[in-house]
Structure 1
Amino acid sequence: MKQLLSVLLAFAMSMLSAQSVQSPSGKISVDFKLAGDGQPTYSVNYKSKAVVLESALGIKLKDKPALNVKFEIVGSKTATFNESWKPVLGEQSNIVNHYNELTVSLVQKETHVKMNIIFRAFDEGVAFRYDFPKQADLNYFIISDEVTQFNLTENNKVFWIPGDFDSNEYEYNETKLSEIDNSKINMNNGIGVKSIPGKYMVQTPLMMKSPTGLYVNIFEAAVVNYPVMHLNVDVNNYKLTAQLVPNAIGDKAYLQTPCVSPWRTIMISNDARDIVGSKMILNLNEPSKIDDTSWIKPMKYVGIWWEMHVGKSTWDYAGSQNATNFADAPKASGKHGATTENTKRYIDFAAKNGFDGVLVEGWNVGWEDWNGNWKEEVFDFTTPYPDFDIAALSAYAKAKNVKMIMHHETSGSVANYERHLDRAFENMVKYNYPAVKTGYVGKIIPRGEFHDGQTMVNHFNFVARRAADYKLMVNSHESSHPTGYGRTYPNYVAAEAARGTEFNAWSIGNPPMHETILPFTRLLGGPMDYTPGIFEIKMSYYDKNKTEQVHTTLAKQLALYVTMYSPIQMAADLLENYEKYPDAFQFIKDVAVDWDDSTYLQAEPGDYLTIARKAKGKESWFLGAITDENARKSEVKLDFLTKGKKYKAIIYEDAKDADWKNNPIAYKIKTMVVTSKSKINLNLAPGGGTAISFEPIN
């Protein structure tokens, strides 16, 4: 009898130490167990095939025993959650959030510290996080490392950028996992501040494709009061380990119980469209904390920006003069872009063409001595240059029914920005600016902090929260990558946080495959302000000695308004360039920026992407199709259109001889009547695209 009881007890303990949860459809499963030393581990299967082998979990603490071994399970519980929620702005009007959840409660035998690990299984992937309840044996603590691992099964193809603590503005590399090596990439890429600590460190989101055709994406969600997670790659064994970005003294995160880590996410599908269309990252964030969201509106805008990048004008007022006291009225250089007269020109253009807003960069004093000097105080965010009449322009824009978009470049001096933040926001409210574009070029102040550390993550989130108090929208540039926080604070409408269009003007640029990868990586965490719409592709147009160019055709620039989602979209080129191509510009005028529905028709990371979207509250649809450096032909069924309706399809496509490098502006426009039973043939040039508007015929 005693022997039987021992066997039953051992069986019960083995059952307790092994837990599992499946996705609602059953195709994805997560298995949790404690290894022999009490090490928490997990594994993931997709349709009964191993995707993540047994991988370690745990946290290392500073000056305390590590929370990665000697655990025992003291309980577990499961739950099912299924809801539909409405984003304020988004790619669709309703988002389904359906998952099964497993919570495993652990206690470390020697320290009595309690830690829960929460798993959620969605049909598009899995997520897990560490949960530290309030307890006597753990109050304040410092994380020194996270030992989370992703032990992969195959030498996947991977789309990666270096694990730089200060910049995510890299072009993507497409290699096998075993070929990841930061020492072999081109560092002459236009990035001013680089902080890459390891040869095999990469950033998330990390998009992969297995040799057997399975798509896997590793990312994170709800990064709040925590640093960004990069990944250290064991290139020989295909094992990835979490690498948290440290602060100035090497610590990773300062926490107090009760608290949670961000979610670690693994998206899995045999169809790439499931990855690019996933809303799992948003679903893992808390619902909106803003009760009245009526002031959060989509915007299509033009602005004084690209003309500085192409050398037509400058951000600074006084040129090479080191002018800091503008009460003395230093002599203007004559190239300043943000003048009252020039801004009125943009306001007039916006009003004439139905644009919502005008962005003006370089309006405020300080640009003569702003970048590269690690300087504490550069901008005050309220004082305009002598040739920028902020009050008169505010009144002029209001009379034209155009909104002004503020620009706050911090030059990396975050401490200075936070000191001035309320005055800066009060200034915006005073002059009727509903949105701000923030910038963080340069090394961070407080000195020694990184763009992706806990301090800066807290700052980016704080700016969005504080802006909400003033009913202001935020579009951040040079920030850490978004991880869905825009669901919680929907006034955080967009971010850059990747290599944008401007790199084409003065560096090696963005290769044609760049825009086919970003929707599988950067855009999973939230909208990206990519600033498309460049019509004059080659920089030799402005200076015959320049060889730089945008690495797309003009037709692809139009298609990006559909494939690169953002509720705040810029028509980035110079106004005169749009006036030269009014027929192509019509698509930018017509295309929506907020959507009721999105259909992902064709997708392959690094190669091509075709998306159709339905405008919010309208029957109009828009389609965007893009390709990499290879020409591409395909057929698209229009069964996403409403059955029984006829539509006028206006097709903006590459001309037969178009080519991103040799003949990028060659395009043609044709019109046809279509229904949901119709098909359209797409013919994309190298680096090209197609944009289509579908208007119902009444």
Structure 2
Amino acid sequence: MNPLRNPVSTRRLGLLGLLCLLWGTLRAEEIKSPNGQLTLNVTLAEGGVPTYSLTYKGRPVIKTSKLGLELKNTTSLQAGFTQTDKQTRSFDETWTPVWGESKTIRNHYNELAVTLTQAATQRTMRVRFRVFDDGLGFRYEFPRQPKLDYFTIKEERTQFALAGDHKAFWLPGDYDTQEYSTVTSKLSEVRGKMKAATTPNASQTPFSPTGVQTPLMMKSQDGLYINIHEAALIDYSCMHLELDDKNMVLESHLTPDAVGDKGLIQTPANSPWRTVIVSDKAGDILLSKLVLNLNEPTKYPDVSWIKPVKYVGVWWEMITGKGTWSYTNQENIKLDSIDYKTVQPNGTHAANNTRVKQYIDFAAKHGFDAVLVEGWNIGWEDWFGKHKDYVFDFVTPYPDFDVVELNRYAASKGVKIIMHHETSGSVRNYERHLDSAFQFMNKYGYNAVKTGYVGDIVPLGHHHYDQWVNNHYQYVLEKAAEHKIMVNGHEAVRPTGLARTFPNLIGNEAARGTEYESFGGNNADHTTILPFTRLIGGPMDYTPGIFQTRISTFNPQNTSFVHSTLARQLALYVTMYSPLQMAADMIEHYNEHLDAFQFIKDVAVDWDDTKVLEAEPGDYITYARKAKGKSSWFIGSTCDEQGRTSKIDLSFLEPGKKYTATIYADAPTAHYEKNPQAYQIRKQKVTSKTKLTQFCAPGGGYAISLVETK
């Protein structure tokens, strides 16, 4: 019998549908973190709308918030759901990173996977939640199914309903850059401060008067520290947050592609994880490994070729305007129609044989692994702002850069040269040349590359953070691994923990680094905020170590100055974690302060253990880190423009052992504007019972090496 032709059966089906709807509406699931302090509730609200909420020690972190996606030209995945399945599990493992802030990482969570079925479309969507002791991760999963094979995302509608008007550390929402100064304000003040916060950049597309970027760091009035970000951003668009400043609700806002779509999905597929890290201690946010843990284990069976790197480079003199990347001042150059041997050199090209050999000699003398050289290849004369498709070929050097000789010379000194690939945003051109460029690197002994994406993305219309360009970054990373090449990506999308899966992603920029000190300066509190925001997703190639902070002393045309004392520049090697650390100043300035430079020589770039001794976002951070495979510890402390007195105890040291502490500190008269190079170095014996009190000048800090006394 066909039930559709039987009125009794039809009534029964209607009643069954109503019961299913009511069951779906009323059904609620609860799951706690392993330590019981975080509680997640998942509910289908009226109309079959999926929602979630999160509390920490009974205090609201995320109030009831909607989940779902708005689709293009079809019924959206936002309502009309019933819960058709659920699965729970607990997971606990300890894994060893290829490089990192600690020798091992514990991955411990309770999981809830809720399967939702949309009766009207017969489509299925699964939402997977993982609750850790330090926060929550969740993602959308789209199983292979006949009713949902290909679809286009119009917008993701994930909400984060906040419990108050929190203090926030935010960047203007932008599809193309994160190179803004962080603004500290209440969320209700974002709209009024947005215009001033959106400063000029080489490529920028702000999208809203209340749009902000992730990682977004916040502090509630009752002392909860909350961080919202994402993890495992693969084949998807980068997420920003749109603020409803009347109701204090943040909603996901994805980066559109060239035609305005937010994502092209083919099932089976998963979204990135949406992450919420929470604690009543600021240091717990800094120590969280939640974002890393939500990424998959490494894809590479052999990781022996991936090594942390400490390097110097021909870079700062170009950034500050003392030298140039280009070989000639001639413009309107086409690579296939110019013979560089016939043009007039400008005399300021920094990447020349003599200069590079000076850096190689310096690196060898002081035990550095590598030398970065920018501006070595043809095409720099009119590379920026022209939207040229074919701008660099990545294999042809300028006449004054002898690839064969320089690599022979570097190898004889035990030093590597780091390749530089600036794409000027022309991703299609880079992919066109990628195989030949990496083969060139293999041939001449380069094992690491710094990529760059300055300017608008070409093809025009795409954005630095849209799905198609994110897939380009991933393609470059995996192609590099085929050639055993490590990647340091600049102007690319901010990291989301992918370095766990692809550990040759050894560095990223994705924020205002030291280069901005030459473009007008970073705020003095900048480095007290970045570890709470940008570094949540992965390490940053911040390029610290500037000793001559007055740029006009060597380039009178540039009146900018570094907003930091010299002592704080040393501290950044500890507070701004990266397995790729640059001594960024010109080598002449290091030769003037070899006593202070000793700390840069000594400090490790890979760690067995990390402690946060003091922390308050925007004010100060003090880290202690134990060098990989050694008994030595290093401490770094950075503070804002107010200055402070730091008080720490050394109880993390091994009891019963003695250490020699070498303390590199601000002098009493030091000040980041008035007297930045005033520093003092002293030594003292310490043990695990020692407590230290140390002055930090405005915009200053200190660095300490702790070496066991045998």
Instruction: State the 1:134 CA deviation.
Output: 0.9
Match status 1:313 vs 2:326: no
Contact 2:326/2:349 (CA < 8 Å) preserved in 1? yes
The alpha-carbon distance between structure 1 residues 335 and 322, as it changes in their structure 2 partners (threshold 3 A), is farther
CA drift of 1:237 comes to 1.1
Cα separation, 2, equivalents of 1:357 and 1:663: 32
> Structure 2 residue aligned with 1:167, among 177, 188, 192?
177
Please state whether the residue corresponding to 1:237 is helix, strand or coil. coil
Please state how far the C-alpha of 1:329 moved relative to its aligned partner.
2.6
- Superposed displacement of residue 323, structure 1: 4.4
* 1:83-123 CA-partner distances (Å, limit 9, x unpaired): 00000010001000000000001100100000000111001
Q: Deviations over 1:482-526 (max 9, x none)?
A: 00111000001110011110011122x210111111000110111
How far residue 145 of structure 1 moved from its aligned partner, in angstroms, is 0.7
Change (3 A) 1:534 1:185: farther
2:9 corresponds to: none
| Aligned amino acid, residue 311 of structure 1 | G
State the alpha-carbon separation in 1 of the partners of residues 340 and 181 from structure 2.
Answer: 43
Matched with 2:219 is 209
Structure 1 runs (4+) greater than 6 angstroms displaced:
9-12
Aligned length: 691
1:143 alignment partner in structure 2? 153
- The residue type paired with residue 451 of structure 1 is H
1:552 to 564, 571, 586: 564
AA matched with 2:561: Q
The whole-number CA distance in structure 2 between the counterparts of 1:595 and 1:38 is: 48
Matched, 1:230 2:240: yes
Which region of structure 1 is more displaced relative to structure 2, 379-388 or 326-335?
Answer: 326-335
Shift of 1:547: 2.9
After the TM superposition, which of the residue ranges 411-420 and 303-312 deviates more from structure 2?
303-312
CA contact (8 A) 1:221 1:263 kept: yes
Which string of whole-angstrom CA distances, capped at 9 and with x for unpartnered residues, describes residues 586-622 of structure 1? Answer: 0000000000110111111101000000010111110
Residues 547-605 of structure 1: CA distance to partner in whole angstroms, max 9, x if unpaired? 31110100000000000001010000000000000100000000000001101111111
Contact 1:514 1:606 in 2 (8 A): yes
- Which position in structure 2 is the counterpart of 1:153? 163
CA contact (8 A) 1:329 1:386 kept: no
Q: Which residue of 2 aligns with 1:585?
A: 597
Check conservation: 1:16, 1:73, Cα contact below 8 A: no
Hey, what does 1:245 align to over in structure 2?
255
Residue from 296, 308, 319 that aligns with 1:286: 296
SS at match of 1:67: coil
- Paired with 2:682 and 2:426, the residues of 1 have a C-alpha distance of 50
- Residues 357 and 404, structure 1, Cα contact 8 Å, conserved in 2: yes
**Alignment match of 2:495 (pick from 482, 485, 488):** 482
| SS of aligned partner of 1:559 | helix
Deviations 1:656-675 (A, max 9, x none): 00000110110000000111
* Residues 1:255 and 2:268 are matched in the alignment: no
How many angstroms apart in 2 are the aligned matches of 1:92 and 1:187?
36
Quote the sequence identity (%).
54
| Cα distance change of structure 1 residues 194 and 10 upon mapping to structure 2, 3 Å threshold | closer
Change (3 A) 1:65 1:377: same
SS at match of 1:652: strand
SS in 1 for 2:209: coil
Equivalent in the alignment of 2:660? 648
Once the two structures are TM-superposed, the CA of residue 312 in structure 1 deviates from its matched residue by: 1.7
SS at match of 1:485: coil
The match for 2:474 is 461
Counterparts of 1:238-387 in structure 2 under 5 Å?
Answer: 238-324=248-334, 325-326=338-339, 328-387=341-400
Question: Quick one: distance in 1 between partners of 2:697 and 2:105?
Answer: 35
Are 2:134 and 1:124 equivalent residues in the alignment? yes
Contact 2:25 2:44 in 1 (8 A): no
The answer to whether the 8 A contact 2:194-2:209 is kept is no
Letter in 2 for 1:528: M
Task: Provide the secondary structure at the position in 2 that maps to 1:609.
Answer: strand
Shift of 1:328: 4.8
Q: Which amino acid aligns with 2:616?
A: E
CA distance in 2, matches of 1:270, 1:311: 45
Identify the match of residue 95 of structure 1 among 105, 110, 123: 105
Q: Does 1:692 align with 2:704?
A: yes
**1:599 paired to 2:611:** yes
Confirm or deny: 8 A CA contact 1:162 1:182 kept in the other structure.
no
Aligned to 1:69: 79
How far apart are the structure 2 equivalents of 1:365 and 1:267?
A: 46
Shift of 1:347: 0.3
SS at match of 1:195: coil
What is the letter of the counterpart of residue 629 of structure 2? G
Structure 2 match to 1:619: 631
| Native 8 Å contact 2:24 2:44 kept in 1 | no
SS in 2 for 1:296: coil
The secondary structure found in structure 1 opposite 2:151 is strand
Q: CA separation of 1:175/1:188 partners in 2, compared to 1, >3 Å: closer, same or farther?
A: closer
Query: Given the two structures, how large is their TM-score scaled by the length of structure 2?
Result: 0.96
Which whole-Å CA distance do the structure 2 matches of 1:279 and 1:157 have between them? 23
**Gapped regions of structure 1 (runs ≥ 5):** none
How many angstroms apart in 1 are the aligned matches of 2:329 and 2:592? Answer: 31
Q: 1:183 to 1:612 in 2, by over 3 A?
A: closer
| Separation of aligned partners in 2, 1:129 and 1:184 | 30
- Contact 2:26 2:44 (8 Å CA) reproduced: no
Aligned to 2:673: 661
1:522 to 522, 534, 548: 534
Alpha-carbon distance, 1:10 to partner: 9.3
Letter in structure 2 aligned against 1:33: T
Q: Is the aligned partner of 1:106 residue 2:119? A: no
- 1:200 & 1:221 partners in 2: Cα distance? 23
What residue in structure 2 maps to residue 186 of structure 1? 196
Letter in 2 for 1:494: G
Distance 1:545 1:316, change over 3 A: closer
The 1-side partners of 2:441 and 2:556 are apart by: 40
Structure 2: distance between partners of 1:266 and 1:277: 14
Among 645, 658, 662, the alignment partner of 1:633 is 645
Opposite residue 148 of structure 2, the aligned amino acid is L
Which of 473, 476, 492 does residue 486 from structure 2 map onto? 473
Q: Which runs of 5+ in 2 are unaligned?
A: 1-14
CA deviations over 1:425-445 (Å, ceiling 9, x no partner) = 001111101100000000001
TM-score, structure 1 normalization: 0.97
Conserved in 2, the CA contact under 8 Å of 1:190 and 1:503? no
Alpha-carbon contact 1:182-1:201 (below 8 Å) kept = no
Cα deviations across residues 253-287 of structure 1 (Å, max 9, x unaligned)?
A: 11111110000011110000010111100000000
